[in-house]
Amino acid sequence: MKQDRSSFGLPINGSLRSVSIASLCIVALIVIASAASLAFQAKMYPAMEVRRTFLPNDVANLVIGAPALLVSMGLARRGLWVGVLFWPGAVLYVLYNYLAALLSLPSVPMIGLSAALVALCFYVLTGLMRSTDGAFLRNRLGSKALSRISGSLLAVLGILTLTRAISVLAAAALGHANPGVLDVAVSIVDCLIAPVFIVCGVFLFRQRALGYLTGLGLLLTANLLFSGLIVFMLAQPLTGGARRGAADFLTIGGAGLVFLIPFVFFVRGVHAAQRQCQSRG
């Protein structure tokens, strides 16, 4: 897709052909990785404890990650601004999951697939950030996206996540706790991803171009992470894991609702700005 606001109205400054192809490769690899792990559980995850942890996560990636990426691409192809803004958020969700897998699964067959997915996600994110016109979005959206509320929530989520991750890693380093490999891997990934939420949240609060460029995508990532966690908990009993109580689902659902509300208003603001821009054109 090339920039042609007269025909598509997309806030982009170049071609998205290469990132579109890379994104389709991501979807294909998610399907392959998830199908392989479900069909050949013992080979993909030889240790039972690892299997109980990562099989539910593969289900979440298949049910949440791949469809979110395909929907984002489909909306962008239809000329909708929300598709362009959803796209990096869906990719970040996939990156989060497979980067954690890459750091915690050094000796299983999934290592190659996880590495390929992480590399493709970085490529797509870089391409999208380079191609999307943040200044154009800032000028068109203004206050329509509840930028201060959305930015504050993203920054707070980033701060809380970073604080928890640092405390887990510090406790492990000082010998005060003995977290599992996955907990350490997730904490490392949180230390890498959380600053993105903080910085972009602050930029969105201050109504800067980078905030409008990333805000809706990060709100989508937050919602996908909460949704993925619910799918993960639902799938755990199928792999011999403990069944979660209703309180756990209510807690996760309530936390997700906090980010769903500004997400909906942000989407409405983007749609309104696009309609206004098209009516003027």
Q: What is the mean pLDDT of the chain?
A: 87
pLDDT range class, residue 146, cuts 50, 70, 90: confident
Single-letter amino acid, residue 250: L
Spans of all domains in the chain: 17-280
In the predicted structure, residue 39 carries a pLDDT above the cut 70? yes
Q: What is the pLDDT of residues 234-258, one digit of tens each?
A: 888 877 666 777 888 888 888 888 8
Contact 228, 59 (CB under 8 A): no
Alpha helical stretches, state H, 46-109: 48-60, 66-77, 81-104
In the predicted structure, residue 212 carries a pLDDT above the cut 70? yes
In the predicted structure, residue 181 carries a pLDDT above the cut 70? yes
In the predicted structure, residue 195 carries a pLDDT above the cut 60? yes
Q: Each residue of 175-214: b (16+ CB within 10 Å) or e?
A: eeeeeeebbbbbbbbbeebbebbbbbbbbbbebbbbbbbb
Q: What is the pLDDT of residues 216-240, one digit of tens each?
A: 999 999 999 999 989 888 888 877 6
Q: How far apart are CA 142 and CA 269, in angstroms?
A: 9
